[in-house]
A and B are shown apart, each in its own frame.
Chain A
Amino acid sequence: MSFFHPFRDNGILGMNRRNACYTLRYNPRKFYPLVDDKLQTKQLLEEHAIPTPILYFEIRYEFELKYLRQIKHLKKFAIKPARGAEGRGILVIADKDEQGWKTSGGERLTMEDIEYHVSNILAGLYSLSGVDDHAFIEYFVQSHPVFRPFTEKGVPDIRVILYRGVPVMSMLRLPTMESRGKANLHQGAVGAGVDMLSGITVGGVHKNMLIEKHPDTGQPIAGITLPHWNYILETAVKTYEIFKLGYFGIDFVIDRYLGPLILELNARPGLSIQLANRHGLLPRLSAVDRQTDIETLAPRDRLALSREIVTAV
């Protein structure tokens, strides 16, 4: 595939190869807005009856800020930028009393503070390329009890990487004190590899270091059984037909009442998932490419193929 590889890759997918051989090749530019804009993603998912957190309302322009007062009726909600990258600009409100709101991190906020935050979102502070953005207010996801030992701050999520419609790798992302409740590995969250057949976690990664225990709580990371695992995989393979992207990541949260919900999609999923799983992506991706009739397979068959591949490599 390439002319000059000075370093052995050991089956590990690097940034250059991800871009040149996978995202540039299989993700047509014109479909990017569907995943980069969370409002569009939400709309598409809802059209296809795939569960996602309920949208309360959106604020598109500065003059609509006055509608933000509606939140006074809400106790728990999340404010997000539509085009935010890597979990930036997300404000999760967990409680409300006479003085105002409380974030999931325990910080007190007044109406003024929230308005300032939404203003910044609209100005494009958190968007991918700094362009003007929209903000939306959605359902506050309450984490499934199985994650209770890890949920002092934030909500864990589950990322599934889908290559040409076949789930190839997955990880559970656990927020930490350092990541300030965000489930993003760049910001210091912990990633735990997931056995694709059983849905049980193996060891994890924290800031590119292999770890066995959660850095905040000291709880072992391996051995968590993810609830609704088969349902998550079934839902994941269905999204391939909707978004027409060949290589992307799907982020699920498991709500204690609503079950698995798709939070967002990512057309440039990170590479640390390989560290979390202690396994390179390349052998699995090549195994999918070896399947010549891949484009004709139904979602159910792709799931079967996925199980075959992860058993083999």
Chain B
Amino acid sequence: MNKKVYLLSAVLMITAGVLFYLRLSFGGQSIRPEFDQHLWRVEIGMTPHGSGSRASFRLTLPAETERQTIYNENFENSGLSFAIQESKLTKNRMGRWQTQILDGAKSVKYIFSAQLKSQTFDIPPDLRLDPAIKDHLAPEDQLWLKPSEFIQSDNKKIRHYLRKIIGREKHTGKVMHKLFDFVRGQVQYQSEKGSKDALETLKQLTADCGGQARAMVALSRAAGIPSRVVGGLVLEPGVKQITHAWVENYIGGQWIPFDTVNNHFASIPNHYLVLYKGDVVLLRHSGLAKIDYYFSVNFETMPPVDQPWSLYILPVHFHGVTKMLLLIPLGTLIVALTRIIIGIPTFGTFGPILLAIAFEEVLLVPGLLFVTLVLTINCLVRRLLDHLKILIIPKLAILVTMVVLILISVMMLSVHVGQLRMLYVSAFPIIIMTWMTERFSVLQIEDGTLAAIKSSLGTVIVSCLAYFVMDIPKLRSYFFAFPELLLVNIAILLLLGRYTGIRLTELWRFRDLHKLQEEKNRS
């Protein structure tokens, strides 16, 4: 019997291990530390301050590209109307929030994960500047050759600078090196309140990243290379307010990045997050007194997944429920452990888990208060009903009704006191509480109040334990990424199912007998 059980649980564990390994190495699923380096969790927090009128603001959102995967996007809009649009000209993804008449401040958050790769490009040495580039360019890319407000590429002075820098050079690669070295060598970096335009940058030869990028773009366009400013974040763990800007040039059929400030020639590191393309503003508003913002950046541990067997493909709003569902078996494991190894009495096997889930919803301390309140009042009411000699089923039904009454009064009270968290109590915890009340009453009738209190204490303790374990975020993500871990759960439960050792509480129960036996063994 035992051999079969061991075999089965070994098979289950090996199966889980194999699945785990396969997904790690072939499924794009990863928990290896080197992946952490370019997995990021970014939170963009914005606080619009109203001026008493209707207002709107927009943020450019990161786009999916070959080197940049955006996933687990989450918007907290605080009741503002929100839509994602594509900008007509620059094709940027825009999040747009609109308010009714806004006084005071609101808090809006945009949270997402990004997987970023570093890239390095080669410019073929024999590639020459294309005088007819305009005709080879797609219509929607034409704008990357034209001058714009801050990038005066058709200005005479710019053309003059260009001639001074590149002379008669016609090879694209060499032109790019000369332009890059000029801007990097001659324009001194200096942080500024608003970036200068291209002309001003070249005149004063001091600029921040935006001014340097504009100068670079203006010179490139003047030289006949399609070019654009790219803006985004240089990611590092922590909170910051500074964005960064660099340049992308269209060379040999692809957009190649250049960052003169941080010296990345034809390459981009894996902590550069692109938020917009073109000489646009990241965050623009109208009708607001002001808008505060910050970027909070951290490492992300779970990579995005593009395989059909991953739970990540479920719609995002199911993720929470699914994660909870996956943790229920883990809860049963804890109940089994506490019952079989320790011997704590509980209401049924699933009672503690259900209670733990209820705690999850209403938080631990209010949940514990709820349980105590409900059970106490239940005890009092039951005494009264016993006196009236009410049949058992109607009696339990009355108790359940009482519990609902208590809960809705608590909810009403919490509105008046301003404790709105209590309002989140949905039907589920109420059902669990009423069910617990019934179990308590039945046990009280059958085994007396002391046994009922013992079991409820046991249930509460085990459910707290289950709550703490199920509340570990890492565990949630791992079970979600690798549901095959449930097989390990079954394997452990199988072993527990053949555990025939003495329970901890039985050591206490039989303590006198143990002592006698030890004495006997000695003599």
Contact = CB atoms under 8 A, between A and B. Distances in A.
A231 interface: no
A16 B516 contact: no
**What secondary structure prevails in chain B residues at the interface with A?**
helix
B442 A130 contact: yes
A231 to B, nearest CB: 30
A123 B499 contact: no
A218 interface: no
B392 A186 contact: no
B110 to A, nearest CB: 51
A129 to B, nearest CB: 11
Given A3-B6, A278-B516, A120 B392 contact: yes
Nearest to B497: A20
Nearest to A207: B509
A86 B510 CA distance: 21
A7 B371 CA distance: 35
A290 interface: no
A15 interface: yes
A17 B500 contact: yes
B501 A5 contact: yes
Interface string B406-418: 0000000000000
Given A16-B340, A210-B512, A2 B446 contact: no
Nearest to A116: B389
Interface residues of B, number: 34
Given A20-B498, A20-B500, A21-B500, A15 B510 contact: no
Interface in A1-30: 1-7, 9-12, 14-17, 20-21, 25
A280 interface: yes
Contacts of A275: 509-510, 512-513
Contacts, number: 100
Contacts of A86: 447
A10 B500 contact: no
Interface in B1-48: 1-2, 6
A274 interface: yes
Contacts of A208: 509-510
A130 B446 CA distance: 11
Contacts of A187: 447-448
A15 B506 contact: yes
Interface in A238-290: 271, 274-275, 278-280
Most chain-A Cβ atoms within 10 A of its Cβ — which of B6, B343, B503, B510? Answer: B510
B499 A20 contact: yes
A285 to B, nearest CB: 12
Contacts of B503: 14-16
B281 interface: no
B472 interface: no
B450 to A, nearest CB: 10
29 contacts: A1-B2, A2-B498, A2-B501, A3-B6, A7-B504, A10-B521, A12-B506, A12-B514, A14-B500, A14-B503, A16-B500, A16-B503, A17-B501, A20-B497, A20-B498, A20-B500, A86-B447, A113-B389, A116-B389, A120-B391, A123-B392, A123-B393, A125-B392, A187-B448, A209-B512, A271-B506, A271-B510, A274-B510, A278-B516
Interface of A: 1-7, 9-12, 14-17, 20-21, 25, 86, 88, 112-113, 116, 119-120, 123-126, 130, 186-187, 208-210, 271, 274-275, 278-280
Q: 5 nearest interchain CB pairs?
A: A14-B502, A10-B517, A17-B500, A5-B501, A2-B500
